[in-house]
Structure 1
Amino acid sequence: MSDLIQHYVPVFRYYLDRIDDLAGKATADQLAERLTPDSFSALENFGIAQGYVLRSLCPLAGQPVPDLPDAADPKTLVGRGQEVRAHLDRLEGVSAQNTGKINHVAGKATLDQDPYDYIALYGAPNFFFHMNMGYAILRSVGGAIGKGDFDGFHSYPSGFSFVTGDQGQTPEPAQ
Structure 2
Amino acid sequence: MPTIHELTIPVLTHGLGVLSGYLDKAEAHAAARGLDPAELVGARLAPDMLPLSGQIQRASDTAKASVARLTGLAAPSFPDSETTLAELKERVARTLAFLGGVGREPFDGAEARSIELRFGKFQASYSGADYVTRFMLPNFFFHVTTAHGILRHQGVEVGKLDYLGRFD
Q: Same fold (TM over 0.5)?
A: yes
Moved over 3 A (4+): 96-100
Bigger shift: residues 60-69 or 80-89:
60-69
Match of 2:108 among 96, 104, 111: 96
**Identity of matched residues, %:** 25
- Number of aligned residue pairs: 155
Q: Which has the larger radius of gyration?
A: 1
- Contiguous gaps of at least 5 residues in structure 1: 154-173
Question: Normalized against structure 2, the TM-score is what?
Answer: 0.81
Q: Give the Cα separation in 2 of the matches to 1:45 and 1:56.
A: 16
**TM-fit CA distance, 1:30:** 2.3
Q: Give the Cα separation in 2 of the matches to 1:87 and 1:97.
A: 20
**Residues 33-52 of structure 1: matches in 2 within 5 Å?**
33-52=43-62
Contact 2:70–2:113 (Cα < 8 Å) also in 1: no
- Counterpart residue number, 1:120: 133
Question: Normalized against structure 1, the TM-score is what?
Answer: 0.78
Q: Supply the AA of the counterpart residue of 2:131.
A: Y
In terms of fraction of residues, the more helix-rich structure is: 2
Evaluate the alpha carbon distance shift between residue 147 and residue 31 of structure 1 in structure 2; reply closer, same or farther with a 3 A threshold: farther
Secondary structure of 1:91's aligned partner: coil
Superposition CA RMSD, Å: 2.3
Alignment deviations for residues 114-152 of structure 1 (CA, whole Å, 9 cap, x no partner): 101111110111010011001111111211211111112
Evaluate the alpha carbon distance shift between residue 90 and residue 97 of structure 1 in structure 2; reply closer, same or farther with a 3 A threshold: farther
Secondary structure of 1:59's aligned partner: helix
- Contiguous gaps of at least 5 residues in structure 2: 31-36
